[in-house]
């Protein structure tokens, strides 16, 4: 389970960074009327601000999920036994 949570965090961070670079940042510049950033500026912004934010967000979500799952694991197992009986 830990490997899956880690893989989900990494894939979310990478996918959201790529999506920000190609979709969200150009959309913001278009709709807000801002000057477009050059490719090196955009790349630097994504790698220094957006990617670390997404990694931290993924780690926090993973931590909260693991804490909740540990607390609810006995209840989940009981529910599975009742449904299979």
Domain boundaries, the chain: 2-84
Q: Is 13 in contact with 51 (CB distance < 8 Å)?
A: yes
* Residue pLDDT, tens place only, 21-43: 999 999 999 999 888 888 899 99
Query: Is the pLDDT at 19 greater than 90, yes or no?
Result: yes
Angle between helices 2-19 and 51-84 (to 10 degrees): 140
Tokens 């999506």 locate to 19
Measured CA to CA, the distance from residue 13 to residue 16 in angstroms comes to 5
- Which pLDDT tens digit goes with each residue over 43-57? 999 999 999 999 999
Return mean pLDDT, the chain.
93
Q: Is 37 helix (H, G, I), strand (E, B) or coil?
A: coil
Res. 17: pLDDT tops 90: yes
* Residue 29 CB coordination number (10 Å): 14
């Amino acid at each position: 389970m830990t490997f899956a949570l880690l893989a989900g965090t990494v894939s979310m961070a990478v996918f959201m960074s790529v999506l920000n670079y190609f979709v969200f940042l150009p959309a913001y510049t278009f709709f807000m009327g801002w000057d477009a950033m050059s490719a090196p500026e955009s790349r630097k912004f994504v790698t220094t601000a957006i990617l670390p934010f997404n990694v931290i967000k993924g780690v926090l979500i993973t931590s909260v999920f693991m804490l909740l799952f540990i607390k609810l694991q006995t209840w989940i197992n009981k529910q599975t036994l009742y449904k299979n009986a």
